[in-house]
Amino acid sequence: MRKALRLRRLSRPHDDRYLFVPLDHSVSDGPVVPRDRWQDLIHAVVLGGADAIIVHKGRVRTIEPAVLGGCALIVHLSAGTSHMADANAKVLVGEVDEALRLGADAVSVHVNIGSDTESRQLTDLGTVAAACDSWNVPLVAMAYARGPRIGDPKDPALLAHVVNIAADLGADIVKTTLAHPAEDMADVVASCPIPVVVAGGPASAHSIAGHARVAMDAGCAGLAVGRRVFTSPTPMHLVAELASIVHAPTDASLIHALTATMENRSS
């Protein structure tokens, strides 16, 4: 029950759809924004309607709890830098109980399938999943096909394998890459017993809004967009636009809402 309540907090409208904004890039790549812009960025993300932000444990201390409002907090437990001999390697740098003491609603772990350290990363995912089960904490797996043995990291069959690894090892939600061709992402989602959210991907000629619509049309449960938010000149407006796409009511929810309204009027 406690895990179910925490999972519910990860979706502001409680529609089991998610817009996560990862801001953990400061460990892997360097500062997200200058120090004097950090609080403004957090405010913009929250006011824009993000369901959760993802940060490392030390960064949590720079955020006033009241600032988050209805926005959930996910503490990322994996780390690795772009300066490592193996940029695909990830190690655990935090624990579930530590994240809970910081006020986390959930934790996340990064796993690169096909990397030279895949076995270590799978072990870490299993270890964190066991701790999450003990503490009733939701686990988000950031699972990608990355490494020297990977041909096409967007191959739908490969992505289906990746997301199911995350599910089988205990994740509650899995974040991964959008398949290519994008319409085949529907097969990836259909193969997986847990919600699948997709990364925002690198900046390109395609708008992030178009990327979001394609992902949601394929049946994804949401998005995890970081870099394209914190590099945007108007992050609040971008987050608001993405939130409107992610949480757009389906035909079924519209019918339910209309039915409830009619019942209330007749009572």
C-alpha 238: how far from chain center:
16
Question: Residue 151 is encoded by which pair of tokens?
Answer: 């041909």
What is the identity of the amino acid at 123?
A: T
Q: Write down the catalytic residue from 18, 57, 90, 175.
A: 175
SS3 (DSSP) at 91: strand
Q: Write down the catalytic residue from 3, 57, 144, 154.
A: 144
175 a catalytic residue: yes
C-alpha 190: how far from chain center:
19
235: Cβ contacts below 8 Å, ≥ 6 apart: 41, 44, 45, 48, 229
The span from the CA of 162 to the CA of 198, in Å, is: 13
154 a catalytic residue: no
Peptide bond into 181 cis (omega under 30): yes
Peptide bond into 195 cis (omega under 30): no
DSSP class of 234 = S
The span from the CA of 36 to the CA of 68, in Å, is: 18
Which residues are marked as active site? 144, 175
